[in-house]
Structure 1
């Protein structure tokens, strides 16, 4: 059984969703960013943390990749061209979509007021819209890489949900329909219920 250290409404959701897709048992330990409990396993104090036989794995994308490789699901085999394309899409989502929302979020309410840059969010929205078109151009359907769900699907769906709540435009009927389908998956619904229980 895996142990997931994290809290609701952050990247911990990705790991919970992955474990639900894989049908793997897990325990959840609620913890806040930068808490002593988290820093015991994560030098930066960031969530989530996955514990597997006492070994801590940090960074949600790394955790998803580890779980997919370990269980041989939701991934192309390492060392294949298909895996190289999968990894490229993973980095595309993280570098060109998630990072933009994360920077805008930090400058909206996370950083100390004196460190925030006014007007940054509008520029970020412009860059987001441009980069989203590039993702849509690579979308094969019904999943990002084609017929099989893979790691970047969990990342992209989570980022699209984040964009919606952050009021970033999703001007793509293709990706809006895709996101709706992904949210309808049974594993996603179970992960969402787990999140709600944590937030209660």
Structure 2
């Protein structure tokens, strides 16, 4: 059984959601970053942490990739062109969506107040909107980022879009709004979103 450390209002949501999609048993320990039981597994104090057979794995994307590869679902096989495209989309989402949202969060409440630059958020919103247009052109035909099959990028994108809404970053692409609506209806998503 897996152990997942971190609260659901963080990137931990992605990991719990995938475990629910995979139908894998897990134990969830809600913990804040740098909280009790976190630093001993991740010296940086960040969540999520997945513990498998006594070994901690950190970083939500690394965890998602590990779980998808291990269970042979929500991913394409390594060494295939589909996997290369999946990894490319994953990196795009991390660079253009996740990074912008995290930087905005840092300048909103993470950094010490004297280090925050409030004006940076306008630039980040602009970049976020531009990135949505790029992603819309890169998405496959179908319900998911790559087309007809749900993969790791779908979990990251849905989580980032929810994060964007809570950070008041507008979703300007109808295709992404429709995507998020579909993801929110998934039973596995709903089990994590409303425990």
Say whether the fold is shared (TM-score over 0.5): yes
Q: How does 1:1-200 map to 2 (within 5 A)?
A: 1-140=1-140, 141-194=142-195
* Alpha-carbon distance, 1:101 to partner: 1.0
Structure number with greater CO (CA < 8 Å, separation at least 6) is 1
1:25-54: CA deviation from partner (whole Å, max 9, x where unpaired): 110112221135211111211000001110
Q: Which runs of 5+ in 1 are unaligned?
A: 195-200
Which structure shows the higher helix fraction?
Answer: 1
Q: Which runs of 5+ in 2 are unaligned?
A: none
TM-score w.r.t. the length of structure 2 is 0.97
The runs of at least 4 consecutive aligned structure 1 residues that moved more than 6 Å come to none
Q: TM-score, normalization: structure 1?
A: 0.94
Kept in 1: contact 2:8–2:192 (CA 8 A): no
Query: Aligned residue pairs: how many?
Result: 194
Alpha-carbon shift at residue 142 of structure 1 (Å): 1.2
Backbone CA RMSD of aligned residues: 0.9
Please report how far the alpha carbon of residue 138 of structure 1 lies from its aligned counterpart in structure 2 after TM superposition: 0.8
* 1:10-30, Cα deviation, whole Å (9 max, x unpaired): 011000000000000110112
